[in-house]
Amino acid sequence: MAETDFDRIKQQVRQFVVEREWDQFHSPKNLSMALIVEAAELVEHFQWLTEEESCKLSPEKLAEVELELADIQIYLISLAHKLQLDLVAAAEKKLVLNAQKYPAEKARGISKKYSEYKARD
């Protein structure tokens, strides 16, 4: 099977870490911390914006947000590598579970968590 773009990124992330001998710092515990720090840098861009403003970012702002998404993706790849997990397979598995938890006909247009809207049945 042909190598995909996502495979290539995974290899590049891996190589980056190996070349810098950063594996010693990359315990799953530490990587989970690094990942949430990057997630917060993303949140920081949006904290004082209205929802509407967050949909219409300036090109400069969008370029910054793009790099935050990249940082999260990179740490997610590193963590999955460390735990020997496959992100695509994991996401696929989770989507099946989500479909059971949030059946389309019940969840339509409702943002409540499953436990909340179920209680209202």
Residue linked to tokens 């409702």: 110
Q: Per rule CB under 8 A, is residue 117 in the interface with a second copy? A: no
Residue linked to tokens 């909340």: 116
Give the number of residues in contact with a second copy, rule: CB under 8 A. 77
Q: How far is the CB of 59 from a second copy (least distance, A)?
A: 12
Q: Per rule CB under 8 A, is residue 114 in the interface with a second copy? A: no
- CB nearer to a second copy: pick between 93 and 118: 93
DSSP 10-34: HHHHHHHHHHTT-GGG--HHHHHHH
Q: Per rule CB under 8 A, is residue 52 in the interface with a second copy? A: yes
3 state SS of 44: helix
